[in-house]
Every structure is written in structure tokens, then in C-alpha cells.
Chains A and B, each alone.
Chain A
Amino acid sequence: GNSVTQMEGPVTLSEEAFLTINCTYTATGYPSLFWYVQYPGEGLQLLLKATKADDKGSNKGFEATYRKETTSFHLEKGSVQVSDSAVYFCALSRSSNSGGSNYKLTFGKGTLLTVNP
């Protein structure tokens, strides 16, 4: 079945440091890939997505490139801020039926990021 593996946390960085959170996946066919962010006490927010190989999703300074050859979708940011402290989830979508809509999201376990001033 489908699965997502992301790097174990927690990750602690100083402000303005470079961030990488690794994510690899296992899926049949051509899934869409997502990064979600969860701030304390809130629900998940879609951060970025990519729907096909070599697509780059980007938002708020975060980027991730869909690498089919390595089945990866690593999240990067060049300079983190204290306000980026949150839990980050990598996810993929693939329908349980052949064809049709991709509604069933499969999530990784999440990576807690703490950014210190």
C-alpha cells in the first residue's frame, strides 16, 4: 500500500538557518505530494503541493521538488524564522479505486521544528 516516511524529529534550528526535512514515499502510479503545517492548537494547513514529476511546489519561502527517480519530496527553506516553529507533515494522495479522484491522503508521522531566536 501507500506510505510516507519523513525524517524523525524534533529538529531545532537557530533563526536564519537552512532547513531540510526529508520525505520519501511508496505508492503505485502517480500520486500527488503535499506538505502540511500544523501550528500549536490549530488544524493542518496546506503549505505546498506538486502533482507530477519534477514539479516544484513553493510557498512562504518553502520549496519541495517532486523527484520520481528517488521517490522523494524534501522540504527546504533557506532561512527559517521563529514563526516557522510547527509540526510539518508530508502526505500523498491516491484514490483507493482505479481512476477517479485522489481524495485519500496518506500522511507521514510529522516532524516538529523549533526555531530559536
Chain B
Amino acid sequence: NAGVMQNPRHLVRRRGQEARLRCSPMKGHSHVYWYRQLPEEGLKFMVYLQKENIIDESGMPKERFSAEFPKEGPSILRIQQVVRGDSAAYFCASSPPGATDTQYFGPGTRLTVL
């Protein structure tokens, strides 16, 4: 059973560009979570999604950030008009139904904004 997959592993963008981060959950998992890890910090919750639904986006910045988990395909975290402060590692996790606190993490996408 393949684990949580994220791509790209590394992403470099210039200020003002868009960043798209992809996450494929483990097989059989219908819950996806995104976390951000700033340098020297722990991971911070951003958003929790189920298929076609945003359940909790309380950790998402109000502007420029959006997330989706369509019926088909991976979950996407989209950052528009990136700024240097967006540079971080973005981790996706997934969980099976009924076990939302047992989360399996992907390897992360390291975003660098020049």
C-alpha cells in the first residue's frame, strides 16, 4: 500500500507567481489535511478536506491560499501571488474514515520563494 504522495518535492517560485502543491492520499483514505512548517517551527494545521468538501479551513491565511480535494484526482493546495514569507515545507496527511486523529504524512513539498 503506497503511502501519501506529494509532488513536487521541491518547488521554486519567484514573488508574484502561483504555486500548486499536490497530494495523493493513501488508498482507502478519504480525509486529507494540510500543514505548514516554517523554519525552526513545528507543523501548523491549515485545512481539513474530504472529497469535494472543505471541513475546516481555520488555519488557512485569508488571502491567496486555497485548497481543494476533487472527486477524482489529488488534493491541491494553491498559493497565488507568492511572497517570501510563504517559503516553508508543506505537508499533507491522510486518514481513514473514523480515525481522523491517526494521520499518515507525506514527504512534504519544500517551497522556496525567491
A residues neighboring B (CB under 8 Å): 4, 32, 34, 36, 41-46, 49, 89, 91, 93, 96, 101-110
Interface segment, one of B14-22, B36-44, B63-71, B80-88? B36-44
Known: A89-B42, A89-B43, A96-B56. A105 touches B107 (CB 8 A): no
What separation, in Å, do the CA atoms of A105 and B35 have in the docked complex?
Answer: 9
What is the chain B residue whose CB lies nearest that of A94? B101
What is the chain A residue whose CB lies nearest that of B99? A101
What separation, in Å, do the CA atoms of A71 and B6 have in the docked complex?
Answer: 34
What is the chain B residue whose CB lies nearest that of A103? B100
By a CB distance below 8 angstroms, the chain A residues around B25 are none
Q: Is B42 touching A102 in the complex (CB atoms < 8 A)?
A: no
Contact among B95, B104, B106, B107 with A41 in the assembled complex (CB-CB below 8 Å): B107
Known: A41-B107, A43-B107, A46-B104. A105 touches B43 (CB 8 A): yes
What is the chain A residue whose CB lies nearest that of B9? A41
What is the chain B residue whose CB lies nearest that of A102? B101
- Majority SS of interface residues in chain A? strand
Known: A32-B101, A109-B40. A103 touches B95 (CB 8 A): yes
What separation, in Å, do the CA atoms of A64 and B64 have in the docked complex?
Answer: 40
What separation, in Å, do the CA atoms of A46 and B58 have in the docked complex?
Answer: 24
Q: Is A44 touching B42 in the complex (CB atoms < 8 A)?
A: no
What is the chain B residue whose CB lies nearest that of A31? B101
Known: A45-B105, A105-B103. A4 touches B42 (CB 8 A): yes
What separation, in Å, do the CA atoms of A106 and B44 have in the docked complex?
Answer: 7
By a CB distance below 8 angstroms, the chain A residues around B102 are 46, 49
Q: How far is the CB of A105 from chain B (nearest CB, A)?
A: 6
